[in-house]
Structure 1
Amino acid sequence: MKATIKYITMALLLWSCNQTPPKSITVAVLADKTDSVIPKPNIPHIKYFMDSPVYEKGKRAFWYGTITNTSVNAQYKAELSGSTLLENSLKRKTDVERFYKEIASHLEHENNTSKTYNNSSIITPLVAELNRIKQSNSADKVVLLYSDILEASDLLNVYETKGYLELRSHPDRVVERLEQQLFIGDLTGVELYIIYYPKELKDNRLFEQMLSIYRKLFEGSGLVIRVGIDNPLSTEP
């Protein structure tokens, strides 16, 4: 019996040495609740990143937060642990399905909440989330920001004439002020996807101007910024 156990142990060790270590991923969603025209998070977007063969046996974590008119908003988390060496494949499949079902249920609940807010800070909670996910021990780190990224806070209010003109004529001043007020650490390894589809020319211009601010603000941090998911409008290597 001891010899049998010894051979089984050696076989398992040899097998594990030949296996590629499973990759892990954390996907964090920030849902902007300040405008009803902003796209809502959905499970296909989440699975687009998580439901890949490279994460089949690895740990998968999902974070969800909202952007409203307050600086601190409730967070939701769901986690799928990495599979064990002797884990039953049927159990793993059941655990994965349950994981996605929980996320879909939460998103449906949040998306059916129709309340919107007039004032908001987009950049402050975003920077906090980017710095937080950077500390995650996941191999891959993704933040999905569902927002028009139009700031309406003490830092900048693009809906007021003063803020709008400053954004249009003096973007460097805006970047300088944001740099003074926000802590942006090393964000190497973090990807940010901004999900918004402007419907009017004016909205598109404002969005592009704010996107330019974001690119300058995070320049040198290592953060990868993309717009959209399936066919990114623009990317930053």
Structure 2
Amino acid sequence: MNRALIGLLCVLLFSCKTEETRTDVYSVLRDVTDPLLADVNADEITGAMHLENMDRNVVLRYSEISDVDMHIVEQVVFKKPVTGLLGNEVENTKTVRTFKKDIAEVLTPKDTLVLVSHSAIFVPILQEIQYLNSLPDAGDKILVVYSNLMENDPSWLSFYRSEDVLALYHTPESIVQRYLSKADMTDKLIDVSVHIIYMPSDIKDNRRFNALRSCYMMVFSELGISLSFSGNITQALVVL
């Protein structure tokens, strides 16, 4: 009996050393150039991660969208705990609790609203997609963007400029081409799912956002990237 038990333990230890651990990466981009009705919620995000399933690593990345293309990225990592005969349930529960606390701290807005004259939205989204796509294909790669998508860069596209607004409503294909001109996706397979979270404030805002959503859907379809729209992350990630 003792020999059998020792043999089983050896098998378990060997399996732990050789098994490739899955890593799920959640990246959150928050637009701080305009007020958002549907804003970042740490409890919703950790809930979507299903941390009760301690069979993988989980990484959270967070950055704020403002008037520039480059941003500071904060990152929190949850390492797959040891479970089963060699695990410590109390310590594992504590590790999950600490991870949730760290996420809440990272997702606490540094500024409620940044008063800037421009908004760079599309390029930072593309940059994060490219980064996530460069990671090993060992798990889910999910990008969640909290934004009204109101690009405001007069050098190529501004929805605060009348001619661009008219183009959005009447010749959306021209807007789509401008977006595509900014996309330099050399990889043919984009292994990233993108979720845009936004809740319009009124009928006018709803019409404008629907026009933007239509353009984004055409752009991301052309790029071969999975894209969805919803009012909160719980609804967006319900299938995960």
TM-score (ref. length: structure 1): 0.84
Instruction: Give the counterpart letter for 1:219 in structure 2.
Output: S
AA partner of residue 29 (structure 2): L
Residues 1-237 of structure 1: matches in 2 within 5 Å? 7-12=7-12, 16=15, 23-53=22-52, 55-84=53-82, 86-110=86-110, 113-137=112-136, 138-153=138-153, 154-184=155-185, 185-186=187-188, 188-228=190-230, 229-231=233-235
1:9-68 residue CA offsets vs partner (Å, 9 max, x unmatched): 444269x49xx9764311100000011235321112212321255x42210000001111
Report the Cα distance in structure 2 between the residues aligned to 1:201 and 1:80, rounded to whole angstroms: 41
| Partner Cα distance (1:187, 1:77) in 2 | 25
Q: What is the rounded CA distance, in whole Å, between the counterparts of 1:48 and 1:168 in structure 2?
A: 37
- Equivalenced residues, count: 227
Paired residue type of 1:167: L
TM superposition shift of 1:84: 3.4
Tell me the secondary structure at the aligned position of residue 219 of structure 1. helix
Question: Does the 8 Å CA contact 2:44/2:234 hold for their aligned counterparts?
Answer: no
In 2, the alpha carbon distance for the partners of 1:164 and 1:221 equals: 23
Post-superposition shift, 1:71? 1.6
2:123/2:182 contact within 8 Å kept:
no
Deviation at 1:115, TM superposition (A): 3.1
Q: In structure 1, list runs of 5 or more residues that go unmatched.
A: none
Distance 1:127 1:186 in 2: 14
Deviates most, 21-30 or 136-145 = 21-30
Evaluate the alpha carbon distance shift between residue 165 and residue 107 of structure 1 in structure 2; reply closer, same or farther with a 3 A threshold.
same
**Larger RCO (CA under 8 A, 6+ residues apart):** 2
Q: Distance in 2 between matches of 1:122 and 1:230?
A: 23
Q: Identity over aligned residues, as a percent?
A: 24
Aligned pair in 2 of structure 1 residues 40, 231: CA closer, same or farther (>3 Å)?
closer
CA separation of 1:195 and 1:116: change in aligned 2, threshold 3 A: farther
